[in-house]
Amino acid sequence: MYSEKLQLFINGQWTDGSEGKVTPVYNPATGKIISYLSCAGVSDLDRALEGAQNGFLVWKQLPAIERYKVLNKAAELIESSKQEIAQTMTQENGKPLGEAAGEVQFCADAVRWYAEEARRAYGRVIPARVPGVRQLTLKEPVGPVLGFAAWNFPAGNVALKIGAALAAGCSIIVKPSDETPGTAIAIGRCFQEAGVPPGVVNIVFGESAPISEHLIKSPIPKKVSLTGSTPVGKLLARLAADTLKRCTMELGGHAPVLVFEDADLDYTINMLVAAKFRNAGQVCTSPTRFYIHRRIYDRFVEQFTERTKQLVVGNGLDEGVQVGPMITERRLAAIDELVRDAVANGATIVTGGQRLERQGYFYAPTVLRDVPDNAQVMTQEPFGPLAPMTPFDSFDEVIARANSLPLGLAGYVFTRDSSTATRASEALNVGQVGVNNTSVHEVETPFGGVNESGYGHESGIEGLDAYLRTKLISDKQLPSVSNS
């Protein structure tokens, strides 16, 4: 049963929106309304901005060891609430309960890691060119920040932004997705109960465009962090440019998968099927363009298809389910259009290729073979349970095809030859490469894209540094002078 009370969190208080506007929240596995979300009006946003400014003045003065204690407590609360938060997430997002619980555990681990890093935001001493001068650099929080989070990882996207900002000494206003509000609220409550002062964490909901414009145009926030699509990232970056706000943009991808002829076929297929259909393919690092060496192409497609047919699709709350629904009804039509376009351009549906006739927003896990490079699914991120496959003949050819798009978030290489692995991982124009591995985002590792997949990083020490600015102090030591 869905139990979260969906309110705004402003300056330490849970409250309804001042304008009385609400929007429905749906369970994508049933298509039914499970709650109503209170939306922020202009006065609510202004109170959040004022709260963030005042909260920052308090929080930045807190010693790093004290911030560590609060963040560590928040991590403990997230971990102890893992099953409850996962239940909420599955009802809002649709992903299987086990995936949801794993995501919440990632949140706890990330916040705990940032708690530790809060004590390690080191400056340095730089040797001076002349005697009597001491040159120091200090790391300072950039100020109040804005975080815009996507629905596909509704806990992780929120926790990473809050954890990094607070570890650095910043306050934050988070605008999570209206599709998955309860998960963000549950994460926010853990920070509140951990003892975060009023105004340090604020959470608002409502129509994204006017909210982001109002918040970004304010001179109070000094940084914007977005997890979202490339078009939205470009829009927010333009808004942020007017006040020269620092930005971290974690945007869309279209990850190429290069399977060379010497790859361990069973291992590779098991790894890729799990990665491809995780969260019903609604993952920015999901493998989405499968380039298979021609000598193993038919065998790979056949075995991948057989594994795909074995996947259990259904309500994520049901035991044994491996693939849940799409997030909204409109996503079904978008996926179907990509499939129809691929077929029209010569591709063949090997399995799937249609909406499942059942309650909710389910699309059958789909494998397409012989997909030409000009098909829409090879140029537009599908963000769904589609695996388009095509053969390749040479190393140079496949690298050129893999690098042909302006997007560059993740890429994958499967081979038993270390030389091929090194050459391919260095040649791929992406932010992170998985070699015989699809796990490219851990708490400790930097995560970010290149080109139109964005810039800046989350996680790792780079994720903390994104919320810090560097100040130089050049101290000329003068001789003592007696006033007597």
Mind telling me the catalytic residues?
250, 284
Cα distance between residue 143 and residue 223, in whole Å? 8
Residue corresponding to tokens 């490219």:
440
Locate tokens 């769904």: which residue?
384
Q: 341: which 2 tokens? A: 């376009």
Cα separation, 198 vs 14, in Å, equals 11
Helix, strand, coil % over all residues of the chain, rounded to 5:
40, 25, 35
Q: What is the DSSP letter of 294?
A: G
Helix 82-93 / helix 97-117 crossing angle, nearest 10 deg: 120
Query: Side chain identity at 86, as an amino acid letter?
Result: A
Contact criterion met (CB below 8 Å) for 409 and 251: yes
What is the SS3 assignment for 155-178? CHHHHHHHHHHHHHCCCEEEECCC
Tokens of 439: 């796990």
Which residues share a beta bridge with 257? 290, 412
Helices marked H in 81-155:
82-93, 97-117
Q: Residue 356 corresponds to which amino acid?
A: L
- For residue 226, the cross-strand partners are 148, 249
